[in-house]
A = this chain, B = another copy of it.
Amino acid sequence: ALSIATAAVAQTKPEDAIKFRQAGYAFMAWNMGKIKAQVVDGAVPYNKDQVAAAASVIAAVANSGMGALYPAGSDKGSGFHETKVKGEFFTDGEGVAKVAVSFNKAANDLAAAAATGDQGAIKAAFGEVGKACKACHDSYRAK
């Protein structure tokens, strides 16, 4: 719930905001990949501490108030590269809040599951996080 409520922190320049949000998503993707490799695909042996650490990153990023990284004027422009955000992100506040809240819950549930070491629970929670990422991308990120 933090993620939306914290837009009132110091105003970040649009190009920095775009860079930071691209950074946050990219770093989550790395950590999702590690959990997928260990718990879903089995491509890498399961290591409880590594999966818990990866899930902690995703939860911490989800709880970090990324709403503040969408200041006015950041609908266009370049951070690490040209932004892919859709204009709808800035006009559909209710829809964005909905996907953000469900992502936030899924991310914190994944961290809780990862801390237990129950691989079945982790796999299920991972699936929910993946759906929440996708739900946002389908509506608010250009291809």
Q: Which residues in A have some Cβ–Cβ distance to B below 8 Å?
A: 2, 6, 9-10, 12, 16, 19-20, 22-24, 26-27, 29-31, 33-34, 37-38, 43-44, 47, 49-50, 53-54, 56-57, 59-61, 63-65, 69, 80-81
Residues of A contacting B: mostly: helix
* B34/A30 in contact, CB under 8 A: no
Nearest Cβ on chain B to A71's Cβ, whole angstroms = 13
State whether A30 and B37 are in contact (beta carbons under 8 Å apart), knowing that A6-B50, A44-B9, A63-B56 are contacts in the complex: no
* A19/B9 in contact, CB under 8 A: no
The complex places the Cα of A65 from the Cα of B43 at a distance, in Å, of: 18
Nearest 3 A/B pairs, CB to CB: A23-B26, A80-B80, A60-B60
